[in-house]
Amino acid sequence: MPSQALILITLLGMQCVAAFAVSAVASQWERTGKPFNPLLGETYELIREDLGFRFISEQVSHHPPVSAFYSEGLCQDFLFHGSIYPKLKFWGKSVEAEPRGTITLELLRHNEAYTWTNPTCCVHNVIIGKLWIEQYGTVEILNHRTGDKCVLHFRPCGLFGKELHKVEGHIQDKNKKKLFIIYGKWTECLWGIDPAAYESFRKQERRGEPPRKAQSGISMEDADTEVVDAVPEVQDTVQVIPGSRLLWRINTRPPNSAQMYNFTSFTVSLNELQTGMEKILAPTDCRLRPDIRSMENGNMDLASQEKERLEEKQREARRERAKEDTEWQTRWFHQGRNPHTGTPDWLYSGGYFERDFSGCPDIY
């Protein structure tokens, strides 16, 4: 039988992974601008020695659009990899992005691997009205070593908006015994509490007894309403149950975030091209894209011209491959099977950080 200490450590680990998974979708809140379409073969690398990781991604498919990524700890303590493959559905007034592709986190020192798939993202009022985003669906995070699972329900806003942004779920062991309750909002914060304390609090509510004074979560500004798919006005802050533990809280965005595509402070810095960086980056890195760089420099006319040139160059390359009956060859990733789920996945082939870029395609 595993010791209580080991069970506690495993439970804490799952709580951290659950918070990490929710925080990843939180950055999408208010990110309603249309991004640049990635070019086939486009890459992006990020090395953060201060944070202890390095990251590489590649656009491995154009139709359907698939982005594969791989990250590793510089102290060889974790691997984080997967692919982003949203299946789009147009519903007239909204666009729904159903996630495809497995997200995998491996904690090497603990010999643990977690896998999950992101929730569905829906953008409302794509034709007329104020754009707004909601996430919904069930996310299941599985610990493949222990069989523990975290089940998170991202609630759709509902008719009156009372469920907007809410996340509720629990952590269970391999025998489906609930070990921990999780609740909050993916736009604000995530809290956790022991199941017995949670049930006791809910019983008090059902009996109409006044609960002990609870803390309040982070306040949000009331959203504007529109005639079409209006953002629900009901946006209560999270009622924190006494005895709960804070798992995650969203960081405040910079004051100029609205003028920077509603990016977070971290995201704003990602496309920065520092002096000398172009000498070590792969020639396919998106920081070298002339259309994006022109736009960032404020030259919108040149950005538009470069965008058209790059798209035509991509179409011409596709026609040439069709003539020669050849298929596109990815550079840093290959199709295979996820080592933990056995399902189809894009896997890192290795070698990027050795910086032999001789085989990179000319896409710019």
The DSSP letter of residue 216 is: B
- 163 or 44, greater pLDDT: 44
The DSSP letter of residue 326 is: -
- Cis peptide bond upstream of 361, omega within 30: no
Q: Which residues contact 264 (CB under 8 A, 6 or more apart)?
A: 27, 251, 253, 254, 257
Question: Is 218 a member of any domain?
Answer: no
**CA gap 177, 181 in Å, rounded:** 11
With 90 as the cut, is the pLDDT of residue 2 above it?
no
Question: Is 89 a member of any domain?
Answer: yes
CATH number at residue 272: 2.40.160.120
Question: Is 32 a member of any domain?
Answer: yes
Q: Among 46-55, 124-133, 164-173, 339-348, whose mean pLDDT is lowest?
A: 124-133
Q: Please, are residues 113 and 106 in contact by the beta-carbon 8 Å criterion? A: yes
Question: Considering only CA atoms, which of 32, 35, 256, 220 is closest in space to residue 134?
Answer: 32
Question: Considering only CA atoms, which of 14, 254, 7 is closest in space to residue 152?
Answer: 14
With 60 as the cut, is the pLDDT of residue 303 above it?
yes
Number of folded domains that form the chain: 1
Q: Which residues contact 187 (CB under 8 A, 6 or more apart)?
A: 26, 29, 165, 220, 250
**CA gap 358, 217 in Å, rounded:** 52
pLDDT number for residue 354 = 96
**CA gap 174, 180 in Å, rounded:** 13
- 226 or 196, greater pLDDT: 196
pLDDT number for residue 126 = 84
Question: Is 336 a member of any domain?
Answer: yes
Question: Is 228 a member of any domain?
Answer: no
pTM: 0.87
**CA gap 60, 34 in Å, rounded:** 20
pLDDT number for residue 140 = 97
With 80 as the cut, is the pLDDT of residue 228 above it?
no
Q: Among 19-33, 106-120, 284-298, whose mean pLDDT is lowest?
A: 19-33
Question: Is 214 a member of any domain?
Answer: no
Q: Which domain holds residue 146?
A: 4-208+233-353
Question: Is 82 a member of any domain?
Answer: yes
**CA gap 86, 101 in Å, rounded:** 8
Question: Is 152 a member of any domain?
Answer: yes
